[in-house]
Amino acid sequence: MKARSALCPLPARIAVLGLTLAVLCGCASRPPSQAVEALPARPASQAVDPLASWNDGPAKQAILEFVADVTNESGAHYVPPAERIATVDNDGTLWVESPLPTQLLFALDRVKALAPSHPEWKTTQPFQAVLEGDHAALAASGKKGIEEIVMVTHVGMTTDEFERIVVDWLAANKHPELKRPYTECVYQPMLELLAYLRANGFKTFIASGGGVEFMRPFTERVYGIPPEQVVGSSIETKFEMRDGKPVLVREPKLFFLNDKEGKPVGIQKFIGRRPIAAFGNSDGDLQMLQWGAVGDGRRLGLIVNHDDGTREYDYAHGSKLQSVDKILDAAGPAGWTVVSMKNDWNRIFPSE
């Protein structure tokens, strides 16, 4: 695969605007006829590796030692199951966020889908820029333009209607460069980590700057995390009776921004327990790691470092595509584990 250090055809600042959007809005199967070949019994000494996609090294060892410590009832760092809370970011930590965050791509497609009902968009920015593919004009619209796109494409429907729109879009579209469904652009090592934590009595939560109603339709199927364990940014909703049936209608007003300083607030507000493990990848996750991976007792902070431009994307320290310098600089003093995609993961996607 070609190196991806600068694949995005848009200016780098568009990627930053894409992340602003995300925080402001709410393996191939075997054919049935194929025979299954019997495998020899595995000797007891050859236990299945729960983190098979992780190479042996400091990152994998840090995870194994942390889990062993907090689950050892006779140990000094034992943590009761009820207090084993792990929070994990979504974009860039559980699935691909380049060349643009998935939710931004969704919003841009929604502009095109709604355009026939809005002929005025042909001459109105930022919608004109989206329809004409004018990346420079879209970038020039700034944060205000992105917010306007969000409000137009994410509101005015019920929560059930929005969920159906998201589900249908994810089913019909593929990542523009990886050429696979978005829900297959997830990181196999992180799926293994989530499963390993849950097998050891942890409750796993998503704490993302992305829209909570955008994530909930797929998180249980893809990550094993039910919708009630997803914390994200959200917009106002209003209760109405329509045709004798109760509905919640999405309103064009921000309710909660679950990013940066907002992440610890969201964790406390919607989870009610302080995590002992927190995983992220960018500066927007710094405060979540400071809240969950710093403090008394045994804790684990983990940062996914995108340094593999061959198999995925490269926006490590100093990158202009994503802001990561603050969290990477804080990792050493805080004792957090920095995971190198290039060196620590022998496999990135489930279909590999």
Please report, for residues 69, 99, 104, 126, 306, the alpha-carbon distance to residue 13 in angstroms, rounded to integers and kept in the order given.
Answer: 43, 11, 13, 15, 18
**Banded model confidence at residue 78, pLDDT cuts 50, 70, 90:** very high
Beta strands 300-305; 277-280: pairing state: parallel
CB 96 within 8 A of CB 178: yes
Q: What is the tens place of the pLDDT at every residue in 292-322?
A: 999 999 999 999 999 999 999 999 766 665 7
**Banded model confidence at residue 4, pLDDT cuts 50, 70, 90:** low
Please report, for residues 52, 146, 226, 240, 320, the alpha-carbon distance to residue 237 in angstroms, rounded to integers and kept in the order given.
Answer: 42, 20, 21, 10, 35
**If phi over 0 gives left and psi between -120 and 50 gives alpha, with beta otherwise, what is residue 260?**
left
Q: What is the DSSP string of 23-47?
A: HH---PPPPTTSPPPP-PPPPTTS-
Question: What is the model's pTM?
Answer: 0.87
On the question of pLDDT at 42 being above 60, the answer is no
Structural domains in the chain, CATH included, are 54-99+156-344 (3.40.50.1000)
Report the pLDDT value the prediction gives residue 16, as an integer from 0 to 100: 38
What CA–CA distance (Å, rounded) separates 14 from 193? 31
What CA–CA distance (Å, rounded) separates 36 from 252? 52
Please report, for residues 168, 267, 289, the alpha-carbon distance to residue 256 in angstroms, rounded to integers and kept in the order given.
Answer: 26, 12, 19
Single-letter amino acid code for the residue at 240: E
CB atoms closer than 10 angstroms to residue 41: 7
Please report, for residues 1, 91, 260, 279, the alpha-carbon distance to residue 52 in angstroms, rounded to integers and kept in the order given.
Answer: 23, 23, 32, 19
